[in-house]
């Protein structure tokens, strides 16, 4: 098992081990903690185990800690017990919802976030891992200080690495960074105390959702969550914008009263959901991605039935003017729907996903549509366009990784969207008053980003772009004898999206494998 953990895909590792069944909780969490951890972690005067008692983390954070104990310290623990411990620690020493805000992208494995971490944390911490990984922990000042010792002991060469050897690394860490971390990310907070005493919402019930599938575009559906013990059972239906329908099934665990982690199958393909329930339990949002490849995913939002009118979104969310069409207003308790904006509604029918509305956008129409149902609203939830003034590629900077070729790391593709804009009141593209239309169809291609990429023939060797989906699949890893010095298939590419006579550009770096890919990067 240890060897399998070493070689496994990190997202798969988190997905697997965070969903291991909890067989009846035969023992309480405190007992399991004592039995499995007290052999190395001595109890203090209050009986709490050293090191463990002074930390709070996300479910993934606690999972990484336990797996590290297994890999480097020979800890022997069954997966079901490990799952119970992760639950117990996340529930009793986790993070409040407000404490994860602004950093959830790292839990959701969002592939296109570029962090900007100020000094000294940028040099001290983010030269090896994300700044979000630091921000998703809470420790006492003593624990932050011991955390420095841990780094020196675990990675003794770090003082000789770039951004370490040119300064008094250890002195700065102890005298500047530890006090800063203790103040910025303290163990005891009002947010956590309040959340511990708050009544937690139940995930069981019917949820109506919107999302996007990598190869099928916008989609919506229902999830029925049921069960008395975790993991809960998830079942439902997903429909794409073009009418394809797929069965949905899977398992769900909820940590800390709001951290939603599910593995689900949609039409035979397994997806991973890393979501957060709102504090009142009426909505859940985050990111859903392919379990086998976390770079291919999209935002996911769901509203819960039974809590009054609620709107999750509109599918499709962008609509070319000039043709009568039907859009799905995705939500619950939508007995009365009001539309205002660039369309005329000619009828509608309630269904299990909300309501299907027949629209007549006039040719030449440009504008947004706001939707309201009781107290629920989705301002500018639908855009109708007859023309596009400018086009942007999102993300504007992406990364793909070569892989395969007999190695343990597979290819990591990159996915792009074409987003249309109107110029806005000033009539100029690329200014602050531009109006976002939304994701629109485009034809995709790649070109050499600069002269060096042209000389090295990066377009020829780095991989292939799907011309309709905007998904770039990198080439195989390993030496390529057709390139200078038999270098690998890395590249620096320009990503081009075109719709009619309007185009937009982004950048794609095709680079080497990521060999160490933990649940929190």
> Residue 177 carries which DSSP code?
I
Instruction: Tell me, yes or no, whether 31 and 137 share the same domain.
Output: yes
Q: What is the pLDDT of residue 27?
A: 65
Q: What is the pLDDT of residue 236?
A: 98
In the predicted model, is pLDDT for residue 202 greater than 60? yes
Q: Max CA-CA distance within the chain?
A: 76
In the predicted model, is pLDDT for residue 347 greater than 70? yes
In the predicted model, is pLDDT for residue 16 greater than 60? no
SS (H, E, C) 236-247: EEEEECCCCEEE
Contact between residue 358 and residue 328 where contact means Cβ atoms under 8 Å apart = no
For the chain, the domain total comes to 4
Instruction: Tell me, yes or no, whether 159 and 39 share the same domain.
Output: yes
Q: Is residue 490 part of a domain?
A: yes
Minimal CA–CA distance to 83: which of 231, 212, 187?
231
Q: Is residue 87 part of a domain?
A: yes
In the predicted model, is pLDDT for residue 3 greater than 50? no
- Torsion 400-406-408-410 (CA) sign: positive
- Answer with the one of 385, 413, 432 that is the final residue of a domain: 385
What is the C-alpha to C-alpha distance for residues 130 and 223, in angstroms, rounded to an integer? 33
Place 18 in a pLDDT band, splitting at 50, 70 and 90: low
- Answer with the one of 385, 404, 429 that is the final residue of a domain: 385
Supply the Cα-derived Rg of the chain in whole angstroms.
25
Contact between residue 83 and residue 66 where contact means Cβ atoms under 8 Å apart = no
* Peptide linkage before 361 cis (omega within 30 of 0): no
| Residue % of the chain over a pLDDT of 90 | 83
Instruction: Tell me, yes or no, whether 445 and 506 share the same domain.
Output: yes
- Answer with the one of 240, 273, 304 that is the final residue of a domain: 304
Instruction: In the chain, count H helices and then E strands.
Output: 15, 28
Q: What is the pLDDT of residue 345?
A: 81
**pLDDT tens, position by position, 375-411:** 999 998 999 999 999 999 999 999 999 999 999 999 9
Instruction: Tell me, yes or no, whether 211 and 184 share the same domain.
Output: no
> Residue 67 carries which DSSP code?
H
Instruction: Tell me, yes or no, whether 187 and 168 share the same domain.
Output: yes
Residue 68 lies in domain = 2-194
Q: Is residue 516 part of a domain?
A: no
Contact between residue 290 and residue 297 where contact means Cβ atoms under 8 Å apart = yes
Q: What is the pLDDT of residue 1?
A: 26
Q: Is residue 30 part of a domain?
A: yes
What is the C-alpha to C-alpha distance for residues 157 and 164, in angstroms, rounded to an integer? 9
- Inter-CA distances, 363 with 322, 366, 384, 497, 501, Å: 4, 9, 10, 24, 19
What is the C-alpha to C-alpha distance for residues 290 and 269, in angstroms, rounded to an integer? 8
Instruction: Tell me, yes or no, whether 13 and 80 share the same domain.
Output: yes
Q: What is the pLDDT of residue 2?
A: 30
Side-chain half-sphere exposure of 379, counting CA atoms within 13 A: 0
Instruction: Tell me, yes or no, whether 321 and 277 share the same domain.
Output: no
**pLDDT tens, position by position, 299-320:** 999 999 998 999 999 999 999 9
Q: What is the pLDDT of residue 467?
A: 98
Contact between residue 55 and residue 138 where contact means Cβ atoms under 8 Å apart = yes
Q: What is the pLDDT of residue 9?
A: 44
Q: Is residue 521 part of a domain?
A: no
What tokens appear for 289 in the block?
Answer: 């991605």
Instruction: Tell me, yes or no, whether 271 and 321 share the same domain.
Output: no
Cβ atoms within 10 Å of 341's Cβ, excluding its own: 18
Q: What is the pLDDT of residue 397?
A: 97
What is the C-alpha to C-alpha distance for residues 125 and 117, in angstroms, rounded to an integer? 9
In the predicted model, is pLDDT for residue 4 greater than 50? no
Q: What is the pLDDT of residue 440?
A: 96
Instruction: Tell me, yes or no, whether 380 and 343 share the same domain.
Output: yes
Residues 6+ away with beta carbon under 8 Å from 413: 293, 295, 296, 400, 471, 472, 473, 474
**pLDDT tens, position by position, 461-490:** 999 999 999 999 999 999 999 999 999 999
Place 7 in a pLDDT band, splitting at 50, 70 and 90: very low
Q: What is the pLDDT of residue 348?
A: 82
Q: What is the pLDDT of residue 378?
A: 93
Contact between residue 78 and residue 70 where contact means Cβ atoms under 8 Å apart = no
What pTM was estimated for this model as a whole? 0.93
| pLDDT, the chain, mean | 92
Instruction: Tell me, yes or no, whether 362 and 405 share the same domain.
Output: no
Q: Is residue 50 part of a domain?
A: yes
Place 336 in a pLDDT band, splitting at 50, 70 and 90: confident
Q: What is the CATH number of the domain that holds 280?
A: 2.40.128.120
Residues 6+ away with beta carbon under 8 Å from 174: 145, 148
Q: Is residue 519 part of a domain?
A: no
- Inter-CA distances, 282 with 207, 304, 308, Å: 9, 5, 9
Q: Is residue 272 part of a domain?
A: yes
Instruction: Tell me, yes or no, whether 39 and 119 share the same domain.
Output: yes
Q: What is the CATH number of the domain that holds 319?
A: 2.60.40.10
Q: What's the average model confidence in pLDDT over 16-27?
A: 54
Instruction: Tell me, yes or no, whether 136 and 97 share the same domain.
Output: yes
Tell me how far the alpha carbon of residue 63 is from its chain's centroid: 17
Q: What's the average model confidence in pLDDT over 422-450?
A: 96
Helix intervals (H) in 131-210: 131-135, 141-154, 169-172, 178-184, 190-197
Contact between residue 369 and residue 471 where contact means Cβ atoms under 8 Å apart = no
What tokens appear for 495 in the block?
Answer: 């990503």
What is the C-alpha to C-alpha distance for residues 429 and 410, in angstroms, rounded to an integer? 40
46-60, 158-172, 257-271, 446-460 — which is least confidently predicted? 158-172
């Amino acid at each position: 098992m240890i060897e399998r953990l070493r070689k496994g895909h990190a997202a798969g590792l988190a997905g697997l081990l965070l969903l291991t069944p909890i067989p009846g909780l035969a023992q309480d969490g405190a007992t399991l903690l004592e039995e499995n951890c007290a052999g190395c972690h001595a109890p203090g005067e209050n009986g709490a185990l050293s090191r463990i008692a002074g930390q709070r983390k996300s479910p993934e954070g606690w999972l990484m800690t336990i797996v590290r104990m297994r890999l480097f310290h020979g800890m022997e623990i069954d997966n079901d017990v490990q799952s119970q411990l992760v639950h117990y620690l996340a529930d009793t020493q986790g993070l409040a919802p407000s404490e994860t805000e602004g950093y959830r992208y790292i839990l959701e494995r969002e592939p296109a976030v570029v962090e900007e971490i100020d000094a000294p944390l940028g040099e001290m911490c983010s030269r090896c891992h994300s700044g979000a990984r630091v921000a998703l922990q809470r420790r006492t000042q003593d624990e932050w200080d011991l955390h420095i010792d841990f780094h020196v002991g675990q990675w003794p060469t770090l003082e000789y690495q770039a951004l370490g050897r040119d300064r008094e690394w250890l002195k700065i860490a102890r005298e500047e960074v530890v006090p800063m971390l203790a103040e910025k990310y303290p163990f005891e907070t009002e947010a956590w105390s309040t959340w511990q005493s708050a009544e937690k919402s139940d995930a069981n019930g019917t949820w109506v959702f919107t999302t996007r599938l990598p190869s099928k575009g916008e989609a919506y559906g229902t999830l029925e969550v049921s069960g008395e013990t975790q993991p809960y059972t998830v079942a439902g239906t997903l429909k794409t914008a073009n009418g394809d329908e797929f069965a949905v099934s899977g398992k769900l665990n909820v940590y800390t009263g709001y951290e939603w982690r599910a593995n689900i199958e949609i039409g035979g393909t397994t997806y991973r959901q890393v979501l957060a329930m709102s504090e009142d339990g009426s909505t859940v949002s985050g990111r859903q991605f392919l379990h086998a490849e976390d770079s291919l995913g999209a935002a996911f939002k769901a509203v819960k039935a039974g809590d009054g009118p609620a709107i999750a979104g509109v599918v499709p969310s962008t609509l070319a003017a000039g043709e009568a069409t039907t859009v799905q207003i995705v939500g619950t308790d939508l007995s009365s729907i009001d539309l205002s904006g660039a369309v005329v509604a000619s009828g509608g029918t309630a269904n299990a996903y909300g309501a299907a509305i027949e629209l007549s956008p006039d040719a030449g129409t440009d504008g947004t549509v706001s939707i309201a149902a009781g107290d629920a609203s989705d301002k500018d939830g639908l855009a109708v366009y007859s023309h596009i003034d400018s086009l942007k590629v999102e993300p504007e900077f992406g990364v793909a990784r070569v892989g395969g070729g007999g190695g343990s790391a597979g290819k990591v593709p990159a996915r792009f969207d074409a987003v249309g804009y109107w110029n806005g009141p000033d009539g100029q593209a690329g200014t602050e008053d531009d109006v976002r239309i939304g994701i629109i169809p485009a034809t995709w291609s790649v070109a050499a980003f600069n002269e060096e990429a042209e000389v090295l023939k990066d377009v020829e060797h780095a991989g292939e772009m799907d011309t309709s989906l905007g998904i770039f699949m990198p080439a195989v890893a390993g030496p390529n004898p057709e390139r200078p010095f038999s270098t690998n298939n890395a590249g620096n590419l320009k990503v081009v999206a075109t719709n009619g006579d309007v185009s937009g550009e982004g950048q794609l770096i095709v680079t080497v494998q990521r060999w160490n890919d933990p649940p929190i990067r």
